[in-house]
Amino acid sequence: MTTMTDTRVPVTVLTGFLGSGKTTLLNRILTEQHGKRIAVIENEFGEVGIDHELVIGADEEVFEMNNGCICCTVRGDLIRILGNLMKRRDRFDYITIETTGLADPGPVAQTFYMDAELERHLRLDGIVTVVDAKHIWEHLDDSDEAQEQIAFADVILLNKTDLVATADLDRLEARIHAMNAAAKIYRTQNTVVEMDRVLNVGGFNLDRAMEVDPKFMEPEYPFEWSGVYDLQPGIYEWVMGEGPDPAMQACLLPLSGSDDKARAALVERAVITFSDADHKLTQGGLLTPGETLAQLVLNEQGETRFKVQIDQAGLYTLFTEHHPDEFSAALFNGEARLAAQFTREYKPDHEHDEEVTSVGITVPGDLDAEKLNRWLGNLLRTQGQDIFRMKGVLSIQGQAERFVFQGVHMLFDGRPDRPWGLELRHNALIFIGRNLNRAQLNEDFRACLA
């Protein structure tokens, strides 16, 4: 079914714990979209009543099938109610389904792919999760439901921001982002949000499978920190104290241009440099700018000093395997300690080892279709239960078009998209799931390259 002519009625699923504000959001949708006919399926009579002509109560009946396959788990109540709604002559422009805080979004999403009747008439548009920014902390660690509602979401509203300090919000956002890197996160008070951020988001639309903010697709970097220094010709010293490791990798690259594009290109060069073999430098060793990777070996005790030789004035970026603070490391010009003009950290500050995480993979080149099928088939068979969402664009050897896909658990939906044309053929995909093995996924995916 092509999305060009998709006239199916869009469905938005609202999830979130009782009291998160999802009923307020629902009322807001109904008020602001008053010209449209919206059917509401409600599973929980929450803190705010819904004043609407068509509210249908449902019972969250999860049906597991005889084959025991989790992807066949569907919501019987939705099949019954939506099946009936779709028969009516007065069609709806939009359908919203409000679930309880205890609902598993998996069967809700799967219902739209497992039932031919619903699939014909309805299009799952997105899962919107409302998070109570003040109280979600209590649930993030030990509630599977809370974790899954975040993991499945296309849009996450961090609500009640007025009750939380900005620093705590930043922490919360970083944590939620680490769990679900594909979701758009908005901070709200009273769930005030532009309607086009929650409706018609195309979360399950293949055409929009890669409309993920590139920064959300950050790969796992081999370095944790970079700093930009403005240096004149001469000899500088990189001084390191004792730290958690006996050595640290680093490279120094000249930066041409200071715009985002130049920085991004530089980061790519650094990634490539870090994939090379390193050469050891000890006390007094010389670190020169260029695409060679140094392993800075520390003295057993006390400070270790490395020389940095600059021949041409300009901006230089130092990439380090660990954060310099862990080694009390800094660049000196004589006695003067130099501050970096611009620094960046490449790993979010993980306070928790999240059970639920996102694994993004970006790899240039073409894939061997057969290897890919075998790997993906096996992956979904063995880990499909733990993979909540996936989406991406693939470059298949011998195919002129991009291959776009998205999936929920073991359900896989994919097709060729537009031709690559002049665009660099590459693969960019994201998995969101529980207990994902990042290194293994990356390694196995790379093994599918032609």
Is residue 275 involved in binding another protein (CB under 8 A)? no
Rounded distance between C-alpha atoms, residue 327 and residue 310, angstroms: 23
Please classify residue 381 by burial: count the beta carbons closer than 10 Å to its beta carbon, then call 0-12 exposed, 13-18 middle and 19+ buried.
exposed
Rounded distance between C-alpha atoms, residue 221 and residue 349, angstroms: 14
CB of 97 to another protein, least distance (A): 16
192 to 211: interface string for another protein, x by CB under 8 A: --------------------
Nearest to 226 by CA among 279, 256, 267, 174: 267
Q: Which of residues 1, 65, 192, 447 is near another protein by CB under 8 A?
A: 65
CB of 86 to another protein, least distance (A): 9
Please classify residue 388 by burial: count the beta carbons closer than 10 Å to its beta carbon, then call 0-12 exposed, 13-18 middle and 19+ buried.
buried
Count residues near another protein (CB under 8 A): 24
Q: Which of residues 2, 5, 7, 67 is near another protein by CB under 8 A?
A: 67
Is residue 91 involved in binding another protein (CB under 8 A)? no
Confirm if 388 and 369 have CB atoms less than 8 A apart: no
CA angle 61, 205, 76 (to 5 degrees): 10
Is residue 49 involved in binding another protein (CB under 8 A)? no
Contacts with 196 (C-beta within 8 Å, 6 or more apart), sequence order? none
Is residue 87 involved in binding another protein (CB under 8 A)? yes
The region of 62-70, 218-226, 237-245, 267-275 touching another protein under the rule CB under 8 A is: 62-70
Is residue 259 involved in binding another protein (CB under 8 A)? no
Is residue 74 involved in binding another protein (CB under 8 A)? yes
The region of 20-28, 71-79, 203-211, 334-342 touching another protein under the rule CB under 8 A is: 71-79
Q: Which is nearer to another protein, 391 or 409 (CB)?
A: 409
Please classify residue 394 by burial: count the beta carbons closer than 10 Å to its beta carbon, then call 0-12 exposed, 13-18 middle and 19+ buried.
buried
Contacts with 349 (C-beta within 8 Å, 6 or more apart), sequence order? 174
Is residue 261 involved in binding another protein (CB under 8 A)? no
Rounded distance between C-alpha atoms, residue 182 and residue 217, angstroms: 8
Q: Which of residues 39, 40, 71, 77 is near another protein by CB under 8 A?
A: 77
Is residue 64 involved in binding another protein (CB under 8 A)? yes
Q: Which of residues 2, 5, 7, 66 is near another protein by CB under 8 A?
A: 66
Is residue 57 involved in binding another protein (CB under 8 A)? yes
CA dihedral sign of residues 236, 240, 246, 249: negative
Q: Which is nearer to another protein, 118 or 430 (CB)?
A: 118
CB atoms within 10 A of CB 423: 10
CA angle 163, 169, 173 (to 5 degrees): 140
CB of 89 to another protein, least distance (A): 5
The region of 66-74, 143-151, 205-213, 418-426 touching another protein under the rule CB under 8 A is: 66-74
Q: Which is nearer to another protein, 57 or 348 (CB)?
A: 57
Q: Which is nearer to another protein, 57 or 364 (CB)?
A: 57
Is residue 379 involved in binding another protein (CB under 8 A)? no
CB of 72 to another protein, least distance (A): 6
CB atoms within 10 A of CB 347: 14
The region of 70-78, 209-217, 303-311, 363-371 touching another protein under the rule CB under 8 A is: 70-78
CB atoms within 10 A of CB 263: 17
- Give helix 144-152 / helix 105-114 axis angle, nearest 10°: 50
Rule CB under 8 A: which of 94-133 touch another protein? 115-117
Please classify residue 121 by burial: count the beta carbons closer than 10 Å to its beta carbon, then call 0-12 exposed, 13-18 middle and 19+ buried.
middle
The region of 79-87, 277-285, 297-305, 308-316 touching another protein under the rule CB under 8 A is: 79-87
For the chain, how big is the Rg over CA atoms in Å?
A: 25
CB of 87 to another protein, least distance (A): 4
Where are the alpha helices (H) located in 212-348, listed in sequence order? 260-274
The region of 63-71, 299-307, 322-330, 362-370 touching another protein under the rule CB under 8 A is: 63-71
Q: Which of residues 6, 32, 47, 59 is near another protein by CB under 8 A?
A: 59
Q: Which of residues 3, 84, 341, 378 is near another protein by CB under 8 A?
A: 84
Counts for the chain of helices (H) and strands (E), in that order: 10, 25
Q: What is the DSSP string of 270-310?
A: HHHHHTSPEEEE-TT-EE-SSS-EEEEEPPSSS-EEEEEEE
Residues in touch with another protein (CB under 8 A): 57, 59, 61, 63-68, 72, 74, 76-77, 79-81, 84, 87-90, 115-117
